[in-house]
Structure 1
Amino acid sequence: MWRKVSAILIPSLVAFGILAYMLWRVWDDLMVTIAHIHPLYLAFAVLICALAWVMRGWRYQAILGGLTVRLGLTFSTACILLSQTANLIVPARLGDLVRIFILKHEGLATYSQGVSSLIVERIFDVVTIALLGLLALPFVIATPEWFLPLIVIPIVGGAAFAIFLLLTGNRHSENKYLGIFYSMLTEVRAASLSMRSAFVLGSSSIGIWLMDVLVCAVIVMMFDESLPFMVIMLAIVIGNLVKAVPITPGGVGTYEFALVITFELAGMAPATATVIAVIDHLVKNLVTLAGGIVSLYYFGDWSVSLMKHSFWSGLSKEELSES
């Protein structure tokens, strides 16, 4: 029991410690900065964020379509929102597994197809973010040395994985586990490497992440800050690439820290940079949480049991099959 509690408690304390330090160092100026918050800008940011989630649902629908899994836009969006809500609490992005069990519970996909869909989505997300970062990097002067490898490594890794998929072809094995591995490679290839799927998933991924940047740009405007769009884009890129390393639940603390570093490099005052980073992540997480709660009602009582098991039982297949 203590091991399960500590798995959530320790990363949460790390996140709280990072945020507490960031707020403490600019506390004197923080209250003055917060006074500039305008509800209209916040409403606009929330609307953009909500639309981005619908776009994510549409992209996930397209990914599963490549695996011959058919589902509606509402279902796919709710599926993503519920799993991302779990990620706000569960460390190491284990909340993504919720999606696999939702698809299995509804008889829409096998476990293998669920895992394959997550792999495709994650690759397109990380590579798209990195490419946007590479585009924005020249617009920020004196960036830390670790920015470049953080951006380049996902691009190289994504390209290497695509080449690997093309070279492996359709392989089979009598070994059970190797057979599952080859089957998943075939599924990932089918969902992502055709001309149509690559275009649809690539263009939608760019749209999703530009909307994510736009949310932050609206919040920057709320504080009457003049910051180039490319700088904001680089900040969001670095924040999400750092957040991809599952140190804290939902990347809380590490995401804000990365944004503040980038904003300060562009000449923004530390207090303003901190409050913008915190509000940006708060808006995105609250929209996710609200969508997750609505999704619980959409899926029904069994999804509540699913979420409970995901937090306390490590997503055991045996227990979840009873849900």
Structure 2
Amino acid sequence: MSAAANSRNLLKTIPGLLISAFFLWYTFHNIPLNEFRALRAVHPAWILGVLGFTVASYTLRCVRWSQMMPRNGRSLRAHFAVCARVLMTSLAANNILPLRIGDIMRIFTYSDDLGTAPSVILSTVILEKLLDIFVLVLLFVSTVGRIATPRLRLIATISLAVSAIGLLILLVAARSLQAPVQRLFARLPAGPLLKKIEHWITLALDATGRLGVAGSLLLLFQSVVIWTCEGMIFLSAIRLLGLSVDGIAAWLAVSFANLSYLIPSSPGAIGPFELAVKTSLVNHGASMSQSAVFGLAIHVWMLLSVTGAGGIIFLIHRIRIHNHKPLLEEIEDLPARLP
């Protein structure tokens, strides 16, 4: 990246930081400090649930992505090891670096490690995001009832129906859709935005077409299991800290909190995540203070566990291959944006 591009990227991060600061203030401005000091593990046995479901969730994410990626002659074990290392490194980078640099690193920096072209990796990243958003929207619509206005419920239901139909078509008929999509975009007015949209749709169709119907449906099933594990992290943490909420609270919180990543903010969605968790738990029986403190605690755990695991994996690999190039120099060599 040039110095001018670095300056522009720095300026782009400032609005996100301001948004995060506002959300943090709005979430915690009326919470007394003694509520944070009062945080206790009421039922310590649930620590095992938090640890176990965190490991399960991110192990399954690695399995899912390794199935999306072509093996290129590697053994299954070696292929999984490389994919897991790259995925965990990129997730850690996304949590601490702006502008989704972790995803850009996954696509460009590690394309040689993965033995495939950046466009192929990008196609799997797009498919991964589509699967996650679909499952999260499904979970949100299923649990949002009490806090949603009729208009919000209608919008959520329509969004779910559209995404479900679109995803089903994508998974089942990807190969047959490629030619009609190209013909459709050929009839539309030429423009950089439409070109990029066509490119991304084509990549997603390529990714699902390589997998076939059975492979694509398996990815959908794995995505449901992944987010079930993620919900169990929240449920285990609620039991650990002794919050008095009903059975729906954890599932609304995990869907709402992860959808909050769609709001432009600082890396890790700091601020929107805490407010989403607080809103979810308050509307299912918890006090305002308990909900806010829990939102902060669960977010700290998710950020530390994923960033810590990814960072350790990243450092071990760099030491093993004797890579002494500073990380910031590697980042400067990355393209300014996704293709």
TM-score, normalised to structure 1's length?
Answer: 0.81
Task: Report the residue type matching 2:328 in the other structure.
Answer: K
Structure 2 CA distance, aligned partners of 1:118 and 1:68? 21
Equivalence map 1:109-258=2 (5 Å): 109-138=116-145, 141-144=146-149, 145-146=151-152, 149-150=155-156, 152-153=158-159, 155-157=161-163, 159-160=165-166, 163=169, 165=174, 168-170=177-179, 184-191=203-210, 194-258=212-276
State how 1:1-323 maps to structure 2 within 5 Å.
1-31=6-36, 33-36=38-41, 41-42=46-47, 44-65=49-70, 72-106=79-113, 108-138=115-145, 141-144=146-149, 145-146=151-152, 149-150=155-156, 152-153=158-159, 155-157=161-163, 159-160=165-166, 163=169, 165=174, 168-170=177-179, 184-191=203-210, 194-300=212-318, 305=325, 307-309=327-329, 311=331, 313=332, 315-316=334-335
Query: Which deviates the most, 261-270 or 115-124?
Result: 261-270
Answer whether contact 2:89 2:310 (CA < 8 A) is retained. yes
- Give the conservation status (yes or no) of the 8 Å contact 1:46–1:287: no
Identity in percent:
16
- Alpha-carbon distance between aligned partners in 2 of 1:102 and 1:142, rounded to the nearest angstrom: 43
- 146-155 or 10-19, which deviates more: 146-155
Stretch of structure 1 that moved more, 61-70 or 2-11 = 61-70
User: 1:181, 1:265 → 2: CA distance?
Assistant: 38
For 2:164 and 2:329, locate their aligned partners in 1 and report how far apart those are by CA, in whole Å. 33
Once the 2 structures are TM-superposed, how far is the Cα of residue 50 of structure 1 from its aligned partner?
A: 2.2
Per-residue CA deviations over 1:56-102 (Å, capped at 9, x if unaligned) read 00000111149999752222222111111111133343421111124
* Shift of residue 245, structure 1, vs aligned partner: 3.1
CA-CA distance at 1:30 after TM superposition: 1.4
Structure 1 gap segments, 5+ residues each = 318-323
Contact kept in structure 2, 1:125 and 1:205, CA below 8 Å? yes
- CA-atom RMSD, angstroms? 3.4
Tell me which moved more, 156-165 or 110-119: 156-165
Report the 3-state secondary structure (helix = DSSP H, G, I; strand = E; otherwise coil) of the residue aligned with 1:260. helix
Pick closer, same or farther for the CA change 1:96–1:150 going to 2, 3 Å: farther
> Is the CA contact 1:216–1:280 (under 8 Å) kept in the aligned structure 2?
yes
Residues 1:257 and 1:188: Cα distance change in structure 2 (over 3 Å): same
- Cα deviation digits, residues 135-157 of structure 1 (max 9, x gap): 2234xx24345465356425514
Matches of 1:272 and 1:298, distance apart in 2: 38
Letter in 2 for 1:133: F
Q: Aligned partners of 1:305, 1:200: CA distance in 2, in Å?
A: 39
Conserved in 1, the CA contact under 8 Å of 2:263 and 2:272?
A: no
Instruction: Check the 8 A contact 1:67/1:191 in 2, yes or no.
Output: no
| Deviation, structure 1 residue 214 | 0.9
SS in 2 for 1:268: coil
